[in-house]
Amino acid sequence: MSTNVVGFHPLLRRREGRHAPVTNEELFFDLVYVFAITQISHGLLHHLTPIGALQTAILWFAAWLGWQYAAWVTNWFDPRTPAIRGLIFATMALALLVGASAPEAWAERGLEFALCYAGMQVGRAAFIVFQLPASHPLAPNYRRILGWMCIAACFWIAGGVAAPAWRLPLWSIAVLCEYVSPMFGFPLPGLGRSRTRDWTIDGGHLVERCQLFTIVALGETIMASGLSMAEAKTWSLPVLGAFAVSFLCTIAMWWLYFGTSVEDAEHAITRSDDPGRIGAYFHYIHAVLISGIIVTAVGTDLLLENPMEPAEGSHTVVMIAGPAIYLLASAVYKRVACGRFPRSHFLGTALLAIPALAGPHLSMLAVAALVTLVLLSVGAGEKAGRERSLL
Check whether residue 377 and residue 357 sit in a common domain: yes
Decide if pLDDT at 389 tops 90.
no
Check whether residue 83 and residue 153 sit in a common domain: yes
Phi-psi category of residue 164: left, alpha or beta, with phi > 0 → left and psi -120 to 50 → alpha: alpha
Residue 238 domain-assigned (yes or no): yes
Domain end, chosen from 194, 225, 240, is at 194
Q: What is the pLDDT of residue 157?
A: 97
Residue 273 domain-assigned (yes or no): yes
377's CB contacts (< 8 A; 6+ apart) are: 348, 351
Q: What is the pLDDT of residue 261?
A: 57
67's CB contacts (< 8 A; 6+ apart) are: 30, 33, 95, 213
- Asked if 75 and 19 count as a contact pair (C-beta separation under 8 A), the reply is no
Count structural domains, the chain. 2
Helices (H) and strands (E) in the chain, counts: 14, 0
Span 16-30, average pLDDT = 81
Higher pLDDT, 141 or 4: 141
Burial of 155 (0-12, 13-18, 19+ CB in 10 A): buried
Long-range Cβ pairs for the range 232-238 (8 Å, 24+): 232/304, 238/307, 238/308, 238/365
Q: What is the pLDDT of residue 322?
A: 93
Check whether residue 345 and residue 322 sit in a common domain: yes
Check whether residue 292 and residue 380 sit in a common domain: yes
Which range marks the domain in which residue 162 is found? 24-194
Task: Supply the mean pLDDT for the chain.
Answer: 86
Span 21-32, average pLDDT = 90
Distance between CA atoms of residues 79 and 134, nearest Å: 22
Check whether residue 357 and residue 231 sit in a common domain: yes
Q: What is the pLDDT of residue 388?
A: 62
Check whether residue 83 and residue 224 sit in a common domain: no
77's CB contacts (< 8 A; 6+ apart) are: 11, 12, 13, 84, 128
Q: What is the pLDDT of residue 282?
A: 82
Phi-psi category of residue 186: left, alpha or beta, with phi > 0 → left and psi -120 to 50 → alpha: left
Check whether residue 249 and residue 120 sit in a common domain: no
Check whether residue 241 and residue 173 sit in a common domain: no
Check whether residue 149 and residue 289 sit in a common domain: no
Check whether residue 314 and residue 366 sit in a common domain: yes
> How many whole angstroms from its chain centre is CA 311?
28
Higher pLDDT, 323 or 135: 323
Domain end, chosen from 129, 164, 194, is at 194
Higher pLDDT, 113 or 306: 113
Residue 72 domain-assigned (yes or no): yes
Residue 11 domain-assigned (yes or no): no
Decide if pLDDT at 259 tops 80.
no
pLDDT in tens, 265-317: 777 776 777 767 777 788 889 999 999 999 999 999 999 888 888 888 888 89
Burial of 205 (0-12, 13-18, 19+ CB in 10 A): buried
Residue 8 domain-assigned (yes or no): no
Q: What is the pLDDT of residue 136?
A: 79
Decide if pLDDT at 391 tops 70.
no
CATH code for the domain in which residue 257 is found: 1.20.1410
pLDDT in tens, 186-219: 888 888 887 766 666 777 788 888 889 999 999 9
Span 73-80, average pLDDT = 88
Residue 13 domain-assigned (yes or no): no
Check whether residue 245 and residue 133 sit in a common domain: no
Distance between CA atoms of residues 64 and 5, nearest Å: 29
Domain end, chosen from 194, 219, 249, is at 194
Check whether residue 90 and residue 35 sit in a common domain: yes
Span 339-355, average pLDDT = 88
Q: What is the pLDDT of residue 3?
A: 38
